[in-house]
Chains A and B, each alone.
Chain A
Amino acid sequence: MAERPAGGGTGAPVRGRGARSGASVAAGRRLRRSRLPVAGGETHPLGDEHGMAGDARRQWQIVLGRFVRQPRAMISLGVFAVLGIGSVVAGFAWHYNYLTLTDQIATFTSGGPTWQHPFGVDPIGHDVFAQVMQGTKEDIQVALLVAAVTTLIGTTIGALAGYFRGWVDPILMRFTDFILAVPLLAVLAVLANLASKQSGSWFWVAMIIGFLAWTYVARLVRADFLSLRERDFVEAARAIGASNRRIIVRHLLPNAIGPIIVNATLTVANAIILESTLSFLGLGIQPPNISLGTLVASGEGDATTFWWLFVFPAAFIIVLILCINFIGDGLREAFDPRRSRVRA
Chain B
Amino acid sequence: MLAYILRRVAASVLILVLSSMLVFVMVANSGDPLATLRLNPHTPASTYAARRALLHLNDPIPQRYWIWISNAVHGNFGSTIQGQPVAPQLWSHLFVTFQMVIIATIVAIVVAITVGVLSAIRRGRAFDSAATVTNFLFISIPVFVLGLILKEFVAIPINNAVGRTVLYTIGQESPNLTGGFVQRLPNYAGHFVLPVLTLILVSYPSWAIYQRSSMLEVLDSDYVRLARAKGLRPRRVLIRHTLRNALIPVTTVIALDFAAILGGAILVESVFSWQGVGVWFLAGVSNLDFNVVQAYLLVTAFFVVAFNLLADILYGVLDPRIRYG
Write out, one digit per residue, whether chain A residues 218-252 have a CB within 8 A of any chain B CB (1) or not (0). 00000000000000000000000000000000000
Question: Which residue of the partner chain, among A273, A304, A329, contacts B142 with CB atoms under 8 Å?
Answer: A273
| Cα of A105 to Cα of B296 in the assembled complex, Å | 43
CB <8 Å contact, B137 and A322: yes
Determine the residue in chain A with the shortest Cβ distance to B145: A314
CB <8 Å contact, A181 and B19: yes
CB <8 Å contact, A310 and B148: yes
Q: Is A193 on the interface with B (CB-CB < 8 A)?
A: yes
* Distance (whole angstroms) from the CB of A131 to the closest CB of chain B: 16
Q: Is A19 on the interface with B (CB-CB < 8 A)?
A: no
CB <8 Å contact, B263 and A181: no
CB <8 Å contact, B148 and A182: no
Q: Is A17 on the interface with B (CB-CB < 8 A)?
A: no
Question: Which residue of the partner chain, among B16, B145, B285, contacts A317 with CB atoms under 8 Å?
Answer: B145
Are A296 and B148 also in contact (CB < 8 A) when A182-B23, A342-B216 are? yes
Q: Is A82 on the interface with B (CB-CB < 8 A)?
A: no
Write out, one digit per residue, whether chain A residues 173-194 have a CB within 8 A of any chain B CB (1) or not (0). 0100110011111110111011
Determine the residue in chain A with the shortest Cβ distance to B132: A329
Write out, one digit per residue, whether chain B residues 27-50 have a CB within 8 A of any chain A CB (1) or not (0). 100100000000000000000000
Determine the residue in chain B with the shortest Cβ distance to A300: B148
* Distance (whole angstroms) from the CB of A277 to the closest CB of chain B: 6
Are A303 and B27 also in contact (CB < 8 A) when A183-B262, A186-B300 are? no
| Cα of A193 to Cα of B30 in the assembled complex, Å | 9
* Distance (whole angstroms) from the CB of B291 to the closest CB of chain A: 14
CB <8 Å contact, A280 and B144: yes
CB <8 Å contact, B137 and A193: no
CB <8 Å contact, A185 and B30: no
CB <8 Å contact, A343 and B220: yes
| Cα of A282 to Cα of B279 in the assembled complex, Å | 13
Write out, one digit per residue, whether chain B residues 124-142 have a CB within 8 A of any chain A CB (1) or not (0). 0000000000001101111
Across the interface, which residues of B come within 8 angstroms of A326, CB to CB? Answer: 136
A contact patch SS: helix
* Distance (whole angstroms) from the CB of A201 to the closest CB of chain B: 19
Across the interface, which residues of B come within 8 angstroms of A184, CB to CB? Answer: 259, 263
Determine the residue in chain A with the shortest Cβ distance to B142: A273
Q: Is A255 on the interface with B (CB-CB < 8 A)?
A: no
Determine the residue in chain B with the shortest Cβ distance to A276: B142
Write out, one digit per residue, whether chain A residues 93-134 have a CB within 8 A of any chain B CB (1) or not (0). 000000000000000000000000000000000000000000
Are A344 and B23 also in contact (CB < 8 A) when A185-B263, A186-B300, A277-B144 are? no
CB <8 Å contact, B136 and A183: no
CB <8 Å contact, B145 and A329: no
Across the interface, which residues of A come within 8 angstroms of B141, CB to CB? Answer: 317-318, 321
CB <8 Å contact, B304 and A181: yes
CB <8 Å contact, A310 and B143: no
The bracket for how many chain B residues form the interface is 35 or more
Across the interface, which residues of A come within 8 angstroms of B216, CB to CB? Answer: 342, 344
| Cα of A281 to Cα of B139 in the assembled complex, Å | 20
Across the interface, which residues of B come within 8 angstroms of A281, CB to CB? Answer: 267, 270, 282
CB <8 Å contact, B26 and A314: no
CB <8 Å contact, A191 and B26: yes
Central interface residue in A184, A193, A296, by most chain B CB within 10 Å: A193
Q: Is B197 on the interface with A (CB-CB < 8 A)?
A: no
CB <8 Å contact, A190 and B123: no
CB <8 Å contact, B18 and A178: yes
Across the interface, which residues of A come within 8 angstroms of B15, CB to CB? Answer: 174, 177-178, 181
Write out, one digit per residue, whether chain B residues 280-297 have a CB within 8 A of any chain A CB (1) or not (0). 011001100000010011
Determine the residue in chain A with the shortest Cβ distance to B27: A190
Across the interface, which residues of B come within 8 angstroms of A318, CB to CB? Answer: 137, 140-141, 145
| Cα of A189 to Cα of B215 in the assembled complex, Å | 38
Across the interface, which residues of A come within 8 angstroms of B220, CB to CB? Answer: 342-344
26 A-B pairs with CB atoms under 8 Å apart are: A181-B304, A183-B304, A185-B263, A189-B282, A190-B23, A190-B26, A190-B30, A190-B293, A276-B145, A281-B270, A282-B286, A296-B144, A303-B148, A303-B152, A304-B152, A304-B156, A317-B142, A318-B137, A318-B140, A340-B213, A342-B216, A342-B219, A342-B220, A344-B123, A344-B216, A344-B219
Q: With A186-B281, A277-B143 given, can you name 11 additional A-B contacts, CB distance below 8 Å?
A: A183-B297, A186-B297, A193-B286, A194-B30, A273-B142, A276-B144, A280-B144, A282-B286, A318-B137, A322-B136, A342-B216
